[in-house]
């Protein structure tokens, strides 16, 4: 199963790597309309976490007494991130070793997608050829970036994709085997539906990546329109992107209707996602390391941008 694809940009990379969570800093930019809800019943918090996934942060905050927690997006683990969360909780400061939360107002419950964008500051150590930096930055700004889903969505060795594919094909025993690492440990219906849906979503994301990669193999002009994210009742037309998605589905022996899994009482709908994103500006400074500052739309992955820049 292929997870990494050919580079879109032709410029040479700069190399480099992140060494500690502080080298990858993310801050959510929330829709400002959500910050003006004084009559809402949820407390809105700005949460800072270090070396912790969003789900781990939610569990830690639940242990502090928070209830019905909502958030706008998932954030990386190996990073320092600021993200907003809503909760039925007392509006006061909370702090643990790796987690801090400060109340900033009232809100309805946050839902995935409520944010506008994410702002990143990334530090790269050990870059090999800084002369390439302005060249690759200029090419990315001029030609855009393929809007691939990042590797972190797919799990180690793509296991999330594999599980999702088995669920869509109704191979529940095989899916459960990979989840549990031993067959028959529990019925698949007892696995939390949110977890099962995450696996299917990973499979949908991989299908999108496969079709987008097929486009970049034969086209050098970016496509800034949207392409389908295949799911239940997705209607694939006759456009270039639709045909590429049809071909991936054909090779996988699946169809949109398969994303309704009646046995699990679960339906994973389709969506639309930009095939390429425009990068308005990438700021950088040079010293003993390289520091990058940029903003990406919600749902786009900084790791995809960094891979194009570093070409390690």
Residue positions annotated with a catalytic role = 76
Distance CA 213, CA 141 (A): 20
Closest CA relative to residue 263, chosen from 184, 202, 191:
191
Calculate the alpha carbon distances from 229 to 8, 133, 244, 265, 297 in Å.
Answer: 21, 33, 12, 21, 17
DSSP helix/strand/coil, 195:
helix
DSSP helix/strand/coil, 201:
helix
Q: At what angle do helices 172-180 and 159-168 cross, to 10 degrees?
A: 160
Q: At what angle do helices 193-218 and 240-252 cross, to 10 degrees?
A: 120
Q: Which positions ≥6 away from 109 have C-beta within 8 Å? A: 42, 68, 70, 86
End-to-end alpha-carbon separation of the chain, Å? 20
Distance CA 284, CA 294 (A): 9
Tokens 């960094």, residue located: 306
DSSP helix/strand/coil, 158:
helix
The first and second tokens of residue 107, run together, are 């809100």
């Amino acid at each position: 199963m292929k997870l990494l694809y050919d580079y879109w940009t032709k410029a040479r990379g700069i190399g480099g790597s992140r060494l500690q969570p502080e080298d990858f800093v993310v801050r959510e930019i929330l829709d400002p309309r959500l910050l003006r809800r004084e009559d809402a019943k949820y407390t809105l918090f700005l949460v800072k976490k270090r070396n912790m996934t969003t789900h781990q942060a939610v569990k830690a905050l639940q242990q502090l007494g928070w209830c019905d927690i909502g958030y706008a997006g998932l954030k990386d683990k190996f990073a320092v991130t600021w993200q907003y969360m809503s909760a039925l909780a007392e509006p006061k400061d909370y702090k643990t070793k790796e987690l801090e939360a400060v109340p900033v107002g009232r809100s309805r419950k946050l839902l995935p997608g409520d944010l506008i964008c994410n702002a990143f500051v990334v530090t790269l150590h050990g870059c090999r050829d800084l002369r390439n930096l302005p060249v690759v930055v200029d090419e990315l700004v001029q030609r855009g970036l393929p809007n691939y889903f990042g590797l972190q969505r797919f799990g180690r060795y793509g296991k999330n994709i594999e599980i999702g594919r088995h669920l869509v094909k109704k191979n529940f025993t095989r899916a459960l085997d990979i989840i549990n690492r031993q067959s028959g440990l529990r019925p698949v219906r007892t696995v939390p539906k949110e977890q099962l849906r995450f696996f299917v979503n990973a499979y949908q994301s991989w299908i999108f990546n496969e079709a987008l990669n097929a486009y970049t193999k034969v086209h050098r002009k970016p496509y800034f329109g949207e392409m389908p994210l295949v799911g239940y009742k997705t209607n694939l037309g006759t456009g270039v992107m639709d045909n590429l998605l049809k071909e991936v589905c054909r090779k996988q022996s699946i169809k949109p209707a398969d994303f309704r899994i009646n046995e699990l009482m679960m339906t994973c709908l389709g969506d639309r996602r930009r095939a390429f994103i425009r990068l308005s500006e990438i700021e950088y400074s040079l010293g003993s390391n390289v520091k990058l500052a940029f903003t990406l739309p919600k749902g786009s992955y900084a790791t995809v941008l960094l891979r194009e820049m570093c070409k390690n």
